[in-house]
Amino acid sequence: MGNGFDLLNLILLIAAVVVFWRLRSVLGQRTGHERRPYDPYSASNGRGPQEEADGKADSDGKVIPMPGRAVPPAQEGPLSGRLQHVEPGAQQGLTEIALTDRMFDPEAFLEGARAAYEMIVTGYAEGDRETLRPLLSDGVYASFEGAISAREEKKLKVEFALIGLKSADIKTAKLADTKARIGVKFVSEQSSVTKNEDGIVVEGDPVTVHTVTDIWTFERDTRSRDPNWQVVATEAGA
């Protein structure tokens, strides 16, 4: 049995030497100059884990964005990425409005302005005072209501169709104290005909489609809890 036991020990010793040699060839030897394991919470070089992911730091510690990475959002303005359908002259005013009213978004405003335009032009043609009243300022409503009353006295009826709203762009924007004013240029296609009480056409053409340009000014007090805007001025555009 002694010889069998010595032979088994010899085999185990050879196996251990082979395993040790293979581990040494794979892992290598430590020389004292190896790179330390990455520590995501280390403050070395003034960089944190996010800077390691986004880019490199120059000698002044500034982040240099790697190709394809966005500039850090801290450099962006309050309306960055949201200034669509806005003429250049209105951008400063919109920024001032957004700084006063953090809930303001130009695209959401334009969506509401488009809906208001359709309701107002249709309501005016139909003489729908109830629809017009909350959408218009006192002065503009008085003008619209006066035209509707004059039409009713003459027993005239308007047949109107808004074929489509081709565009709506913010043309002007201004913040005066707490009052925000935004001018919107609407370009639409419409057909309209006016008939007397006998059904005879006295104005317009029911089959002709006209391109109409309007510039309407909307106003809202940024201190108000009411999110709705009112039309305070209207004019025909070129």
pLDDT per position as a tens digit, 75-91? 345 665 566 789 999 99
- pLDDT (0 to 100) of residue 17: 54
- Measured in whole angstroms, how far is the alpha carbon of residue 29 from the centre of its chain? 58
Token pair of 115 as six digits: 């809906």
Q: Mean of the pLDDT values across residues 25-46?
A: 43
Inter-residue contact 219 to 136 (CB < 8 Å) = no
Inter-residue contact 116 to 109 (CB < 8 Å) = no
Is 88-236 a domain of CATH 3.40.50.150?
no
105 or 35, which is more confident: 105
From CA 210, how far away is CA 156, in angstroms rounded? 21
Mean pLDDT of the chain: 78
Q: Mean of the pLDDT values across residues 1-30?
A: 54
Which backbone phi and psi does 138 adopt, to 5 degrees?
A: -55, -45
Q: What is the pTM of this model?
A: 0.66
Work out the percent of the chain whose per-residue pLDDT is above 90.
59
152 or 205, which is more confident: 152
Token pair of 121 as six digits: 């032009």
Q: So where are the chain's domains? A: 1-76, 88-236
Token pair of 14 as six digits: 């050879």
From CA 93, how far away is CA 103, in angstroms rounded? 15
